[in-house]
Chains A and B, each alone.
Chain A
């Protein structure tokens, strides 16, 4: 087994693990969302990844882009809340970068994630510090890019990215929400951890674990 590349088998294993971890944290995400949102994030994400896993299990793939594209399409149709088009766009843009590749190294993965994040920002218009998933994803992807530049091993890059995502997630606690349903609460949104930043961290955690990080 090659440790420096993501391949189709690992990509499917990643989706399996995301589904597991999101399911295990369904109540937690819903509790976070009930504090500052509409209490459906856990349920929505669980439904989306359950359907996404069914979809990828029912297909045969030759390239990793195609796996993530099916995930993207499924999330957009089944999640229901704003997380659907946002995560859908993330996976869609990433899949376009990975399209035609049977495997991806750290550098390609960092590029794919960057494209995904740019898609999310273009769609949702959230900036860093708005108390959204962007707050977890941005520092994580920066860490991934820095690791790729230094020529670090894939697992080391992912480990650093996950640590930054966790920090970004925790850093959303004192912030006042400026996007999404939580922004209607204004100052009252401060003191709560953002559910979107949390699901982004959990997705990355599942990604890392599936690759043995």
Chain B
């Protein structure tokens, strides 16, 4: 199973995105969100990200992380430094719009695709057209 970790500056944002993605992807993928610093205000926490990754890696073969902006990316990279080499090799950060990317990635992962494919699909969300005309 693939795990997807959504990292946002706000826990509410992360939680909402997880809710939307999970509804579409079902239970064949683990979608988890972290957001806010340890006091619950806006920001990101390396420790929270590390904990979430550790948990996901216990039940998943691979994890795709989808961060929102700025420090979400840096905090995720810093958290990866605390993982073992073996754990680290199973985690990929996707450069994708956080909501659209998470939804597409979750659906793709639910079909049993490998991490590389899930990341590719998440990143393709950059090209997603919402208005056809």
Residues of A within 8 A of B (CB): 40, 44, 47, 73, 76-86, 88-89, 92, 123-124, 180-181
Q: Is the CB of B42 within 8 A of A86?
A: no
Contacts of B70 in A (CB 8 A): 81-82, 180-181
Question: Which size bracket describes the interface of B in this complex?
Answer: 10 to 19
Interface string of B24-45 (1 = CB under 8 A from A): 0000000000000111011111
Residues of A within 8 A of B81 (CB): 89, 92
Is there an interface contact between A89 and B78, defined as CB atoms closer than 8 Å?
Answer: yes
Nearest opposing residue in chain B for A83, CB measure? B71
In the bound complex, residues from chain B placing their C-beta under 8 Å from that of A78 are: 37-39, 45
A79 and B37 form a contact (CB under 8 A)? yes
Cβ distance A151 to chain B, nearest Cβ, rounded Å: 35
The 9 closest A-B pairs by CB, nearest first: A80-B43, A76-B46, A85-B78, A77-B47, A82-B71, A80-B37, A85-B74, A85-B75, A77-B45
- What's the Cα separation between A79 and B30 when bound, in Å? 28
Q: Is B48 an interface residue (CB 8 A)?
A: yes
**Bound Cα distance from A89 to B81, whole angstroms:** 10
Chain B residue at minimal CB-CB distance from A51: B38
Say yes or no: is B77 at the interface (Cβ < 8 Å to chain A): yes
Number of A-B contacts (CB under 8 A): 63
Looking at chain B's contact residues, the main secondary structure is loop
Choice from B38, B43, B48, B78 contacting A81 with Cβ under 8 Å: B43
Q: Is the interface of A mostly helix, strand, loop or mixed?
A: helix
Cα(A47)–Cα(B40), bound, Å: 13
CA of A88 to CA of B47 in the docked complex: distance in angstroms? 11
**In angstroms, how far is the closest chain A Cβ from the Cβ of B83?**
14
Q: Are A77 and B71 in contact (CB under 8 A)?
A: no
Q: Which residue of A lies closest to B76 (CB)?
A: A85
In the complex, chain B residues whose CB is within 8 Å of the CB of A124: 74
Please give the distance in Å from B38's CB to the nearest CB on chain A.
5
> Are the CB atoms of A85 and B77 closer together than 8 Å?
yes
Q: Which residues of A contact B48 (CB under 8 A)?
A: 77
Contacts of B45 in A (CB 8 A): 76-78, 80, 84
Closest to A180 in B: B70
B43 with A44: CB separation less than 8 A: yes
Q: B78: which A residues are within 8 A, CB to CB?
A: 76, 85, 88-89, 123
Partner of B42, one of A76, A80, A83, A85: A80
Which residue from A40, A80, A180, A181 sits with its C-beta under 8 Å from B44? A80
> Is B38 touching A84 in the complex (CB atoms < 8 A)?
no
Q: A89-B78, A123-B74, A124-B74 are in contact. Are A80 and B46 (CB under 8 A)?
A: no
Contact assessment for A82 and B74 in the assembled complex, using a CB-CB cutoff below 8 Å? yes
Q: In the complex, how many angstroms separate the beta carbon of A42 from the nearest chain B beta carbon?
A: 14
Hey, which chain B residues are within 8 Å of A123, CB to CB? 74, 77-78
Nearest CB of A to B95, in Å? 14
Point out the residues of chain A lying under 8 angstroms from B71, CB to CB: 80-85
Contact A76-B75, Cβ < 8 Å, known A82-B70, A180-B70: yes
